[in-house]
A = this chain, B = another copy of it.
Amino acid sequence: MESWVYKFGDGQADGRAEMRNLLGGKGANLAEMSHLGLPVPPGFTLTTEVCKYYYDHDVSYPGDLEDQVDAALAALEKSVGARFGDPENPLLVSVRSGARVSMPGMMDTVLNLGLNDVTVAGLAKRVGDERFAYDSYRRFIQMYGDVVLGVDHYSFEHELAMLKEECEAELDTDLTADDLKELVKRYSAIIQEQRGKPFPQEPKAQLWGAIDAVFGSWMNQRAITYRQLHDIPKDWGTAVNVQVMVFGNMGDDCATGVAFTRNPSTGENMFYGEYLINAQGEDVVAGIRTPQPLTNGGQQLNGAALPAMEDVMPVVFKQLMDVRQTLERHYKDMQDIEFTVQRDKLYMLQTRSGKRTAAAAIRIAVEMAQDGLISEAEAVQRIDPSHLDQLLHPTLDPDAARDVLGRGLPASPGAACGKIVFNAEDAVDQAGRNERVILVRIETSPEDIHGMHAAAGILTTRGGMTSHAAVVARGMGRSCVAGAGELSVDYKAQTLSSRDITLRAGDVITIDGTSGEVMVGEVATIDPDLSDEFTTLMAWADRTRRLKVRTNAETPDDVRTALQFGAEGIGLCRTEHMFFDPARIVAVRRMILAEDRSGRQAALAELLPYQRADFAEIFDLMKGLPVTIRLLDPPLHEFLPHSAEEIADVAKAAGVDPEVMRRRALRLAEQNPMLGHRGCRLAISYPEICEMQARAIFEAATEVSQKQGLGVVPEIMIPLVASRREFVILKELIDKIAAAVEEETGAKIDYLVGTMIELPRACLRAGEIAEQAEFFSFGTNDLTQTTFGISRDDAGNFLPDYEVQGILEKDPFVTIDVDGVGELVRIGVERGRATTPDLKLGICGEHGGDPASIHFCEGVGLDYVSCSPYRVPIARLAAAQAALKAKSNGGG
């Protein structure tokens, strides 16, 4: 016979904490606390299997459920010596839902179940407080009427307000027992009127009504929506917990409270919580009365006026401290608990793992490991890597007032404040004058890079989490709010407007790239301060992981930041950013627009010293760590001059007619630059670009090698390869340049030539490409674009609809699409390694900094991940967790 009902309380229980799937989180922990001998009011749990049965069988219950409930109820009655419906000593229970994970979409709680027109008098007599009894009863009718019977809760509130007016009562507490009796009558009338039958008087009927309501709420619209948003499968189901009522509101020897076993903000190992004398649980949350601190420490910390529980109820407090210790030792984690004191007796109503800030999470994990409560590996596994982002950037002062102008996507974390500028030039200018500026654009393009670098933050009104602005901002560690569609930018008028407010260039705004909020004026921020525990945890992570962690960086600032954050090399040094420097762009354009090879060579000769210096600076900083340099990648299209002025500049530099230049630019313009003349296609068409870049790399490597006495081994990466032959042609060219530079300098050059695998065809043909390539780096941004046929620049118009409709579980530009893009990566890895077993494999798309994607990278056997500087710590931790998971999966 299947057990549908699990009892708990009185120092024993049918269930255990591990049975969360069957009993729900709340039920499992009530059972566990019972086992631990903690004072849990007894009760029982209807399992999630009942819920499953209910929906699999046309909303009906197993035949033997009622008998099991009856038996559990009988045991309960025996345990507490009260009975359902007993006029002298009625059993009162609470009924609570409880899924595997907390789910706000569902019915929550019905209290005081068991009261009726008769038992209310018995309760009054037993407690010696008629007002308390009728207040409990009217609350019960109100709650039950609302959540079980579906009566509009406004009806009750309206009636309560009317009565208060009639009685000239200001507060609920001004109502007398008689007033409340009257209220019970009126509430009952409302039920009769709206539901066509009286309020159920039979406690068992009340109980089954509440059970039905909990199971029914699993499929209400709010719950469905919540599950969709949080990836919770429908078939998990919910449990129902029926538990004997205890009261924190029977007098001054009663109380109710919530606590964390450690400080959830800082992680400090101190008891942390609040309580209220003579109150029920809801009152703490409702905020009508100011809760009191638990400890003297807490009192000092918050400067609270009211005395701490430590002083007011020293005996109970002592018990609570013991409970705290018991729970932490047992659960090996910080707990969030709820308790009630009924006439000086402590009851535990809930325990669960406590939510905490990233800083607290780290401190708690590290201290628990240092105390031997958990292992280092457990400590490493306990931190959600994506939460580290909170620690690495300035954050808004939580206490500061905010005047929110609008909201966009939290594209790059951290808060920033500054004057509005609408173009990159103004950003550079004003930053040069030590102004803090926020660059506000409809969207950004590579030409804005310098402005983005100069700005404290970036705000765009178009584009998604992986738009140009978002990607570049994350790379630079600038905070960014992207795609704030409710705001509009008018470049001509130089305004940024919401529906109500129009701001002008020079006005101050604050953006929070962690929440996506845009605020008018300055909001105070707090600078990051990395704790010793952070350092300790990262050291443990480094000892644990197999994957190396590199960074995507090309400016000296970014390189320094990444090194500070523990980067072990550069996995992607983009060379195009170097081309947009205002000092160089004219030469770049001249090169692109040259009619022939000699014209291009002349322009490239101007660029060579710049590139050489760029590379030398990076090699110098990296001190022998590996540096992967990607040859020029973006579509020529992006470099084209647009304005007449820009065209004139280029024409002048090249010594040709502006009209000729304009026509040539027009000819090179592209419909779909993402799929256009870019990547290795540039070097195939214009080998002299590749020659110049290879020369710059080799000359810089030679120079720095000699200076530092360290072997600089550049890794040259050819982008957007679709076929073996493209790779071979360019590798031969690079080898030729290496030989020439060796000849000129007399110094031997070590280097690798590899490719970015970022097209479906490259994955499929990886076997033959690997015959020649020394490394692959999976460019999963472009691979995602081509595999899905989605341009991330344009996805903002429809991807949100896709997420709402559940078509995409996650934005595939943020977390790798394992089923599609992932299969191609796997094919690429397998075929590449089949040809060349020691092929070095990495990833340098945005996914390289995403924890879920890093797990995929571990699983597929890459050698390293590469991510933007600010994500390096996240990647280090995620890599460690992935290694631990792989180890446990492997049984090793």
Kindly supply a per-residue 1/0 record for chain A positions 499-518, scoring 1 wherever the CB is within 8 Å of any chain B CB and 0 otherwise: 00000000000000000000
Chain B residue at smallest Cβ distance from A635 = B794
Q: Is the CB of B672 within 8 A of A791?
A: yes
- For A674, A675, A722, the residue with the greatest tally of chain B CB atoms inside 10 Å of its CB is A675
Give the docked Cα–Cα distance between A788 and B789 (Å): 11
CB-CB contacts below 8 Å: A796-844 with B = 797-798, 801-802, 805-808, 817, 819-821, 823-824
**CB-based nearest B residue for A722:** B788
Q: Which residues of B sit under 8 angstroms from A765, Cβ to Cβ?
A: 819-820
Which residues of the partner chain B approach A764 to less than 8 Å between Cβ atoms? 787, 819-820, 823-824
Whether A807 pairs with B675 at a CB distance below 8 angstroms is: no
Once the chains bind, are B675 and A790 in contact (CB under 8 Å)? yes
B798 x A684 contact (CB < 8 A)? yes
Across the interface, do A676 and B794 meet the contact criterion of CB distance under 8 Å? yes
A668 (CB) vs chain B CBs: closest residue: B797
- CB-defined contacts of A670 to chain B, threshold 8 Å: 791, 793-794, 797
Give the chain B neighbours of A663 by CB distance below 8 A: 488
Binds B, one of A17-25, A264-272, A723-731: A723-731
Do A671 and B805 form a contact, CB below 8 Å, given A764-B823, A789-B782?
A: no
Q: Report B-chain residues with C-beta under 8 Å of the C-beta of A820.
A: 722-723, 760-761, 764-765
Which residues from chain B contact A797 at a C-beta distance below 8 Å? Answer: 636, 668, 670, 676-677, 685
Known contacts A722-B820, A760-B820, A788-B759, A671 near B674 by CB under 8 Å: yes
Q: Do B760 and A805 have beta carbons less than 8 Å apart?
A: no
Known: A823-B764, A824-B764. Is A807-B674 also a contact (CB below 8 A)?
no
Instruction: List A843-857 residues whose CB lies under 8 Å from chain B.
Output: none
Are A798 and B760 in touch, CB under 8 angstroms? no
A130-167, CB < 8 A from B:
none
CA of A726 to CA of B670 in the docked complex: distance in angstroms?
30
Contacts of A760 in B (CB 8 A): 760, 786-787, 789, 820, 824
Near B by CB (< 8 A), chain A positions 672-730 give 672-677, 679, 681, 684-685, 720, 722-723, 725-726, 729
Knowing A786-B789, A819-B765 touch, does A794 contact B671 (C-beta < 8 A)?
A: yes
Q: How far is the CA of A817 from the CA of B787 in the complex (A)?
A: 17
Interfacial chain B residues near A726, Cβ < 8 Å:
807
Are A791 and B676 in touch, CB under 8 angstroms? yes
A462 part of interface (Cβ distance < 8 Å): yes
Flag if B677 contacts A675 (CB, 8 Å).
no
CA distance A720 to B790 in the complex (A): 10
Bound together, the chains give a CA A288 to CA B758 distance in angstroms of 61
Q: Smallest CB–CB gap between A711 and chain B, Å?
A: 34
Contact A671 B787 (CB under 8 A): no
**Cα distance A801–B726 in the bound complex, in angstroms:** 11
The 8 Å CB contact of A671, one of B793, B802, B808, is B793
CA distance A794 to B674 in the complex (A): 10
Closest B residue to A720 by beta carbon equals B789
In the complex formed, the residue of B with least CB distance to A725 is B807
Point out which of A671, A673, A824 has the most chain B C-beta atoms below 10 A from its C-beta.
A671
> What CA separation (Å) do A251 and B488 show in the bound complex?
95
A821 contact set on B, CB distance < 8 A: 761
Contact partner of A787 (CB less than 8 A), chosen from B786, B798, B819, is B786
Residue A433 is within 8 A (CB to CB) of chain B in the complex: no
- What chain B residues lie within 8 Å of A673 (beta carbons)? 671-672, 794
Q: In the complex, what residue of chain B is closest to A790 when comparing beta carbons?
A: B675
Query: How many copies altogether?
Result: 2
Question: CA separation between A723 and B801, bound complex, in Å?
Answer: 14
A530 CB, nearest partner CB in chain B, Å = 38
CB pair A761–B785 under 8 Å, yes or no, is no
Contacts of A723 in B (CB 8 A): 807-808, 820
A89 CB to closest chain B CB (Å) equals 57
What is the minimal beta-carbon distance from A660 to any residue of chain B, in angstroms?
Answer: 11
- In the complex, per-residue mask of A651-677: 1 if CB is within 8 Å of any chain B CB, else 0: 000000000000100011011111111
Closest to A677 in B: B797
Kindly supply a per-residue 1/0 record for chain A positions 727-766, scoring 1 wherever the CB is within 8 Å of any chain B CB and 0 otherwise.
0010000000000000000000000000000111100110
Which chain B positions have C-beta within 8 A of A672?
Answer: 672-675, 791, 793-794
Cα distance A488–B677 in the bound complex, in angstroms = 21
| Residue in B636, B684, B759, B805 whose CB lies within 8 Å of A684 | B805
Q: How far is the CA of A636 from the CA of B797 in the complex (A)?
A: 10
- A residues 202-226 touching B (CB-CB < 8 Å): none
**Chain B contacts for A790, CB-based, 8 A:** 675-676, 722
Q: How far is the CA of A294 from the CA of B239 in the complex (A)?
A: 101
Given B675, B720, B725, which contacts A794 in the complex, CB threshold below 8 Å?
Answer: B675
The smallest C-beta distance from A233 to any residue of chain B, in angstroms, reads 15
Q: A729-B805, A797-B668, A801-B684 are in contact. Are A789 and B677 (CB under 8 A)?
A: no
| Complex Cα spacing A632 to B824, Å | 29
CB < 8 Å: which of B761, B823, B824 contacts A788? B761
Chain B residues closer than 8 Å to A758, beta-carbon distance: 789
Per the 8 Å Cβ criterion, residues 312-361 of A in contact with B are none
**With contacts A806-B725, A820-B722, A820-B765 known, is A677 near B794, CB below 8 A?**
yes
Q: Collect the chain B residues with CB atoms within 8 Å of residue A671's CB.
A: 673-674, 791, 793-794
Separation in Å of the A673 CB from the closest CB of chain B?
A: 7
Beta-carbon nearest neighbor of A728 in chain B: B807
By a CB distance below 8 angstroms, the chain B residues around A824 are 760, 764
Given A668-B797, A723-B807, A798-B681, check contact A675 B823 (CB 8 Å). no
B794, A684: Cβ atoms under 8 Å? no
Contact call B675/A675, Cβ cutoff below 8 A: yes
Chain B nearest CB from A854 CB (Å) reads: 22
Roughly how many angstroms separate A5 CA and B887 CA in the complex, as a whole number? 67
Indicate if the CB atoms of A759 and B720 lie closer than 8 Å. no
Could you tell me the distance between the alpha carbons of A528 and B720 in the complex, rounded to whole angstroms?
A: 45
Tell me the minimal C-beta distance from A20 to chain B in angstroms: 29
Interface 1/0 per residue, A764-793 and B, CB below 8 Å: 110000000000000000100111111101
Cβ-closest 7 pairs across A and B:
A675-B791, A672-B791, A761-B820, A676-B794, A760-B760, A671-B793, A670-B794
Pairs A–B under 8 Å by Cβ, sample size 26: A670-B793, A671-B673, A672-B674, A672-B675, A672-B794, A674-B675, A674-B791, A675-B785, A675-B794, A676-B791, A677-B794, A684-B805, A684-B807, A685-B797, A685-B798, A720-B789, A723-B807, A725-B805, A725-B806, A729-B807, A759-B789, A760-B820, A760-B824, A761-B820, A764-B823, A765-B820
Add 14 more A-B contacts to A488-B663, A675-B789, A759-B789 (CB < 8 A): A670-B791, A670-B793, A670-B797, A672-B675, A672-B791, A676-B794, A677-B794, A681-B802, A684-B801, A720-B789, A726-B807, A729-B807, A760-B786, A761-B787
